[in-house]
Amino acid sequence: MKKILVTGALGQIGSELVPELRRRFGAEAVIASDIRRRAAAGNGDDGPFEFLDCTRIRQVQDVVRRHGITTIYHMAALLSAVAEEKPQAAWDLNMGGLYRVLEVARQHDCALFSPSSIGAFGPTTPPDHTPQVTIQRPTTIYGVTKVAAELLCDYYALHLGVDTRGLRLPGLISHGAPPGGGTTDYAVDIFHQAIRHRRYTCFLGPGSCLDMMYMPDAIRAMIELMAADPGRLKHRNAFNVTAMQLTPERLAGEIRKHIPDFVIDYDIDPVRQAIADSWPNSMDDSAAREEWDWAPRYDLAAMAKDMFDNLSTRLNPSD
């Protein structure tokens, strides 16, 4: 029987990945885990939950052994902006956590999903139609950990027999748990502020173009990649995937279709602007399309409509 462990289950991705995995495979087949207690975030209470610090190998071994885990979705990580504030902590968690989870996956013959990112690219990467295989010289500690993670996962697949798979995820837009300190967070926050205050002050400049994706597409991509026929996978780790290319200005234009008097202004954060400037404008995801039939379902209009449908009922405009 398939038994799945999700680390970082209370984060932006994990909190939507767990319910979808439970819907597909049954609540008892999916063990949510996080270094936070679930009561604090109020998620994951419809099935098993474990307190887990991924940097402690004994804890990871114990959870994997007790539950007979066969697949791990390793989502525990620091995002780009927070990582720049705490580079040592970012290395410890992003690399130390992955290394220990990989070791346990090797020892217990688990498949492993590891998320990479547009952050694995840097200023010398071709910014438009960024190829699957290209220059990767990131200038952030987050990017350094993502490139190292891609290579470490390749190594474990090639030499140590672990079925590792991964995606280079773009900025993710969702209405559930908030993102935890990334450069692309503006694309979530803008919806909250638009509904509450009809205005938003953006920390990136109007023309900063980045790949983005709506969370349901990202969750489906992860699950479909893990189910893909391994015989078709030439790249295996860190497939480029994207759904739309957004600038703050373009997103604001879409929001105005729902809130006509919405106003955006700009107060640029030089740290996050520099990070955004070093990332691609648009990734080429043809390898994912060819090797496991990846195709996004949400474009900008469909994503924005769904965000408003979900958030408008939850947020009080007079807050």
The catalytic site residues sit at 142
Does residue 119 belong to the site contacting ligand SER (CB under 6 A)? yes
Judged by CB under 6 A, does residue 120 bind ligand SER?
no
Told to check if 136 binds ligand SER by CB under 6 A, we report: no
Whichever of 259 and 271 has its CB closer to ligand SER, that residue is 271
Shortest distance (Å) from residue 203 CB to ligand SER:
11
> Which backbone phi and psi does 173 adopt, to 5 degrees?
-105, 130
| Interface residue with ligand SER, options 19, 44, 143, 182 (CB under 6 A) | 182
90 close to 83: Cβ distance less than 8 angstroms: yes
- Find the shortest distance in angstroms from Cβ 78 to ligand SER: 9
15, 80, 193, 242: which one contacts ligand SER (CB under 6 A)?
80
Asked if 184 touches ligand SER (CB under 6 A), the answer is: yes
Taking CB under 6 A as the binding criterion, the range among 41-49, 93-101, 112-120, 305-313 that sits at the site for ligand SER is 112-120
Is residue 117 part of the contact set for ligand SER (CB under 6 A)? yes
Among residues 19, 122, 138, 171, the one that binds ligand SER under rule CB under 6 A: 171
Range in contact with ligand SER (rule: CB under 6 A) among 14-22, 104-112, 181-189, 225-233:
181-189
Task: Between 69 and 90, name the residue whose CB sits nearer to ligand SER.
Answer: 90
CB of 183 to ligand SER, least distance (A): 4
Single out the segment in contact with ligand SER by CB under 6 A; choices: 28-36, 68-76, 149-157, 177-185: 177-185
Of 104 and 276, which has the nearer Cβ to ligand SER? 276
Query: 44: Cβ–Cβ under 8 A, 6 or more apart, which residues?
Result: 9, 10, 15, 18, 32, 34, 38
Choose the binding region for ligand SER from 68-76, 176-184, 295-303, 305-313 (rule: CB under 6 A). 176-184
Query: Shortest Cβ contact with ligand SER: which residue?
Result: 182
Q: Does 19 bind ligand SER (CB under 6 A)?
A: no
Separation of alpha carbons 83 and 251, rounded Å? 26
Least gap, CB of 117 to ligand SER (angstroms): 3
Nearer to ligand SER, 60 or 213 (CB): 213
Q: What are phi and psi of 198, to 5 degrees?
A: 60, 20
Query: Helices 186-197 & 300-314, crossing angle to 10 degrees?
Result: 50
Does 278 help bind ligand SER (rule: CB under 6 A)? no
Which residues of the chain form contacts with ligand SER (CB under 6 A)? 79-80, 117-119, 142, 169, 171, 182-184
